[in-house]
Structure 1
Amino acid sequence: MLAASLDRLQAEVPDDALVLDVGGWVKPLTRADWVIDIMPYETRGMQGHEGAGTERFSSETWVQRDICDRDRWPFADGQFDFAVCSHTLEDVRDPVWVCTELTRVARAGYIEVPSRLDEQTYYRQGPWVGWGHHHWLVDVHDRGIDFVFKHHVIHGPEENRFPPDFLAGLSAEDLVQTLWWEGGFEFRERVLLRAEEVDSYLADFVREHGEAAARRPGRLRAVVRRLRAGHARATRSSR
């Protein structure tokens, strides 16, 4: 979670608010009163904790279950004042269902997901595009969230991705997208059926954000030159 978001959460969520952490096993939020995750309480915290202090949740308030099983979570409507879902939606097989339950059991919340700047970068984790365990590309907009299945086409043409050193010019804020919501938000899967549709979706984003990066100082200008060169080669080869 972004440090600024954690600070805001700690400052704005009252001490007596009931807080749920959805998918918090890797790095559970200490402020959470409840956690729901497919992994067990006993092995929690592989990457530490979000926030200082002691855990407010316990083994009794840790719910181990598949959050995508299409059964209602074991919480009442509006049970929680606030729900956090950080770096989980991109991992799961049914983020639309998770959002459905999030907005049912909580009255407000915070969502954090990788940005497409991060997810469309080559060699982010290894010799592939983005993170190997992520199943979705995510677009956060003013009204809510769109999910696009991370098709294998993303690993194809160069113009569909950013080169490895593109990340060098990005801040922590550039690498994520955030949504603070209250009373609900819009969410959907945006279905792209043909490879050509996916190519256009990916390449348009790279082209648009490569142009924006060209206006920044420093190393990103060289990166953008390579992006343009790759796009020019692809254009020539398609003729």
Structure 2
Amino acid sequence: MKVSTPKSRQDLHIKRRDRVLEVGPGNRPSFRANVLVEKFLGDDTHRCGGLRIFPHQQLVNAAAEALPFADKEFDYVICNQVLEHSDDPAQFLREVMRVGKAGYIETPSLLGEWLFPKKSHRWVVLNIGDKLFLYDKRRVPGNYANDYGELFLNYLPYQSLPYKLLPFSEGELLHVRYEWKDDIDFLINPTDEYYSKFFLKKWDREMVCTLFPPRGLATELGRTLRAAAHVIGDKLRRSQGRRPLLLEEYKALHPGEFK
């Protein structure tokens, strides 16, 4: 079940002694992860840059749909910007639930995919009523050819403070952030019109309020202040952060581990 909507990967309920797996870390692994699973070691098609690994982490070459771990081997599983790439998201999620007791899933939202689409993304994702809905991107109307990521990902976050606060005050506007425990409630390509309309039809006010419930002034001020505090804290963490290794550097430290 869903337990929270974290502000970012730095806002997760991970205990100090938890054993943590990250699936598909790409070029931005979570420092807290003990084990990384990556399907494509040398192919950067599905990520923005070369694979990186922190020195303390174990790297396993495997697919998310067939994880080589025992049932409930991990206390927490992080899946950041990877589910939308899967050829079989149902099997992906079943495997994550099998090996993990709790975890975090982050994907682009429907609006995020429209603003900064990627050809390697196969699914559009929404969180509706604490349930993950995935819809085949090829069936969703819209222009997914134009990519405005340079503006929304690479420019505004560094030029506009109000925009920088937006992802943390409106957490699921551009991304779906889903922290879960025990199991993940999900549905692939919903046929019920109540859910499919969010992917296929024009949004009316009722649909908007379902996804983004109205808030009072006090709540809004509180969210804005917490977002600002999170941005400052995240900036401090990044300035003190360690540099992850490139794959070749990692291989040099672990000779014979990968052929």
Which TM bucket (shorter chain)? 0.5 to 0.7
Partner of 2:121: 134
SS of equivalent to 1:90: helix
Unaligned runs of 5+ in 2: 157-161, 215-259
Deviation at 1:49, TM superposition (A): 6.7
**TM-score by structure 1 length?**
0.62
Partner amino acid for 1:145? L
Partner of 2:199: 201
Partner of 1:188: 187
Paired with 1:206 and 1:46, the residues of 2 have a C-alpha distance of 39
Unaligned runs of 5+ in 1: 125-129, 216-239
> Could you say which structure has the greater relative contact order, defined with CA pairs below 8 angstroms and 6 or more residues apart?
2
In 2, are the aligned partners of 1:79 and 1:106 still within 8 Å (CA)? yes
Partner amino acid for 1:46? G
Partner of 2:57: 57
SS of equivalent to 1:205: coil
Partner of 1:223: none
Structure with larger Rg: 1
Partner of 2:256: none
Paired with 1:112 and 1:92, the residues of 2 have a C-alpha distance of 13
SS of equivalent to 2:83: coil
SS of equivalent to 2:90: helix
SS of equivalent to 2:186: strand
Partner of 1:8: 11
**TM-score by structure 2 length?**
0.58
Partner of 1:66: 63
The reply on whether 1:88 has 2:72 as its aligned counterpart is no
Paired with 1:199 and 1:81, the residues of 2 have a C-alpha distance of 36
The partner residue of 1:117 within 92, 111, 116 is 111
Partner amino acid for 1:179? Y
Paired with 2:39 and 2:10, the residues of 1 have a C-alpha distance of 27
The size of the alignment, in residue pairs, is: 187
Q: Deviations over 1:169-192 (max 9, x none)?
A: 962232111111111121221256
Partner amino acid for 1:86? N
Paired with 2:199 and 2:51, the residues of 1 have a C-alpha distance of 36
Paired with 1:41 and 1:15, the residues of 2 have a C-alpha distance of 32
Partner of 1:226: none
